[in-house]
Amino acid sequence: MAAPAREASDPLESWSEGRIRSWQAERINEVVQYAHERSAFYRRIWADHDVGSPEVRSLEDLRRLPIVKKQDLLTAGEVWLRSGEGPVGFSTRGTSGEPLILWLSPAEKDAYVIPTARGFRWAGLRPDTTALLLSPGWHRLAAMEGHAAAGLGARPTYFWGSLGGSEHVDSFLDAMEETRPQFVTSTPPFILAALRRCEETGRDPRDPFRHTEAMLLVGLPLTPGLRDFLQARLEVPRISERGGTQEGAALDECEAQLEPHVHADVCYLEVLDERGEAVAPGSRGRLVLTKLVPGGSPFVRYDTEDVAAFFPGDCRCGRVLPRLRIFGRPESSVVVDGRTITAYDVRRCLDEDADLVGRVTLLVRGSGHPGILRIAVEGRPFAEAALKETLCERLGVPQAEVTWLGDARVTWGFRQVIEVSQLHGG
């Protein structure tokens, strides 16, 4: 397999908005034709909506196509699976129920290596340095990381183990000592678990990271407070974040770190309200994805179920690529007084406090009080009255309750929600 060319320049970064839009419309048309040809699932739902054999000449045309939900794909079963069969399969985590199987084709891999390399450049990966990367099996987007690092002239390395819980933290810390990476990709929960292991064993957490100039985190949105905290504790000069979904949404922060840019060459993203109408920039809605690569499993107007918002205004970097934050999924959210509160919203409040930053925080569901935001926080109580006030004021909820988990062993996870019965050991 040929290595992707080193990118001396990246044309997409200098394109105008108009050029990006017309280029995307052409790609969408290719993707729609690909889906129509390959997928009995799309042929059926488009026929059901009287779309027939769709031709997409503009982004407005795309909006005529129905929105597809994950449940529709699961219900279609084999019919969906055969849509994009390729040599590599990935499965979504299934935290929201049944996992979805996706196929990745070689052409699609090549297409996604380009934005991955772009994000790596923005995050500070330099040629001739060592990069310690996420396991490629962890996520579909992670599968592109080794190719991207090698394509940029860096040396990719991996550690043995998974990123779940803290079981393989020692293996990660050993790999940090052995490979001395200048660049690291990981997840916030795993880096927090590594930090905790250092504290438990009396090790200075700056030691394993002493060669690291830049770190790129993915998997959970990074709060500003947590970024500052990790930079200070690990003395890593630059920590950036990536975002994305298994189905193909891909985002990276630029050097300005003012919310992630959408990689408009691989995905077209919409943020829609309950009725399927686009919401204004700055407002939250459901993230709907059209994957712009005619390869692997096709996604055309797929409701990712993520809560997301576009950011209005221009980025300081001058790039016109849209900026968007994925706040979380329904399974990492609760509804209080009619408002959807994500775990990110709560962590953002806690992470501003030096005594609370980085503590495991869980949303508590099922308390039977629709007007009360209940959270559980690891460790001993700290400034509870002030914390409740901040939560109510910032999140617009009438009342907040905090359960302190004391010495109970809790580890960071990706779901960040527990049922009230689990809280009481039920």
> Phi/psi at 133 (nearest 5 deg)?
-110, 160
CA distances from 150 to 87, 120, 125, 180 (A): 22, 11, 11, 17
Nearer to Zn ion, 256 or 372 (CB): 256
Nearer to Zn ion, 205 or 260 (CB): 260
**Among residues 240, 306, 222, 217, which one has the least CA distance to residue 269?**
306
Looking at this protein, which amino acid is placed at residue 239?
A: I
Task: Mention every residue, 6+ apart, whose C-beta is less than 8 A from residue 190.
Answer: 163, 169, 172, 412
Binding track over 236-265 against Zn ion, x by CB under 5 A? ------------------x-x---------
Token readout for 331 is 């399974």
Nearer to Zn ion, 165 or 318 (CB): 318
Nearer to Zn ion, 147 or 227 (CB): 227
Nearer to Zn ion, 88 or 317 (CB): 317
**Among residues 116, 110, 84, 26, which one has the least CA distance to residue 299?**
84
Query: Pick from 74, 81, 317, 420: which binds Zn ion (CB under 5 A)?
Result: 317
CB of 264 to Zn ion, least distance (A): 13
Binding track over 151-170 against Zn ion, x by CB under 5 A? --------------------
CB of 13 to Zn ion, least distance (A): 10
CB of 217 to Zn ion, least distance (A): 17
CB of 221 to Zn ion, least distance (A): 17
User: Under the criterion CB under 5 A, does residue 315 sit at the interface with Zn ion?
Assistant: yes
Burial call 241-274: b when 16+ CB within 10 Å, e when fewer:
bbbbbbbbbbbbbbeebebbbbbbbbbbbbbbee
Nearer to Zn ion, 253 or 303 (CB): 253
CB of 12 to Zn ion, least distance (A): 13
Q: What is the DSSP string of 180-202?
A: --SEEEE-HHHHHHHHHHHHHTT
Q: Round to whole Å and give the CA distance between 32 and 300.
A: 7
* Local structure of 364: helix, strand or coil: strand
Q: Round to whole Å and give the CA distance between 294 and 30.
A: 6
| Stretch in the footprint of Zn ion (CB under 5 A) among 125-133, 147-155, 311-319, 379-387 | 311-319
How many residues contact Zn ion, by CB under 5 A? Answer: 4
Binding track over 60-89 against Zn ion, x by CB under 5 A? ------------------------------
User: Under the criterion CB under 5 A, does residue 217 sit at the interface with Zn ion?
Assistant: no
Nearer to Zn ion, 119 or 181 (CB): 119
CB of 144 to Zn ion, least distance (A): 21
Q: Which residue is it, tokens 């933290």?
A: 169
**Contact positions vs Zn ion (CB under 5 A):** 254, 256, 315, 317
